[in-house]
Amino acid sequence: MVLPCCYLAPVSHYSAYYRADEVRLEVNDHFTKQTLRNRCLIDSPSGALPLTIPVCKTEGKTLMRDVRISDHGNWRHRHWVALESSYRQSPFFEYYADDFAPFYEKKWEFLADFNEELMALVASLLDIGKPVTRTTTYEGARSKGQGAGEYRRAVQSSCPLPLAPCPSTQDGSREYYQVFASRHGFLPDLSIVDLLFNQGPEGVLWL
């Protein structure tokens, strides 16, 4: 299966990764701002909160693999504060904090490298041992496999995830504990860190 190269991708992304025989990250598609490539949604006291990585200005159509991260707005600090504020009361945030903190301390040049390394970390924490390779040419249009088309469409959307409470995620998986569910109900298909910080190693059971 070919999957988009996303920033802390949603649970459904990792569910597809977990179920696939092999996975290739699409890094030869044209970058579009305000999509899952540089944006994720986490839980917060006021509901789903978007975290967006600023990128350097691109001229014309730029391939995902060539997009550079901008240092604008002290985004690393803001993202880490948001993660800490939203999940410090979750059962496993402190357990994993030292694994994620370096990603918000070191400067990364390319967005695809940053996303791929984060994906590798999450896979190791969830004990997903399947290898991931990058595409060498654009494969999104011809990729096949369960859910492949849905993931291509989702990554193109500026707001691809459901924000209203509902009984299950889009792919039919079960609800799990969320810190702020008593305030605004269960929020489906948030970033994988929501599942990880709330369920820990058992999060793989929801994939």
What ranges do the domains of the chain cover?
2-201
End-to-end Cα distance, the chain? 16
pLDDT of 164:
34
Separation between Cα atoms, residue 195 and residue 206, nearest integer Å: 8
Q: Is the pTM value of this prediction over 0.75?
A: yes
pLDDT score recorded for residue 147: 47
Stretch 126-137: mean pLDDT, rounded?
Answer: 94
Whether pLDDT at 44 is above 90: yes
Mean of pLDDT over the chain: 87
CA dist 157 and 33 (Å) reads: 10
- What confidence tier does 27 reach under pLDDT thresholds 50, 70, 90? very high
Q: What is the mean pLDDT of residues 128-147?
A: 76
Closest CA to 128 of 13, 29, 35: 13
Residue 99 pLDDT > 80, yes or no?
Answer: yes
What's the confidence (pLDDT) of residue 59?
78
Q: Say whether pLDDT at 184 is over 60.
A: yes
| Cα 162 to Cα 112, 143, 170, distances in angstroms | 25, 24, 8
Separation of alpha carbons 7 and 55, rounded Å: 12
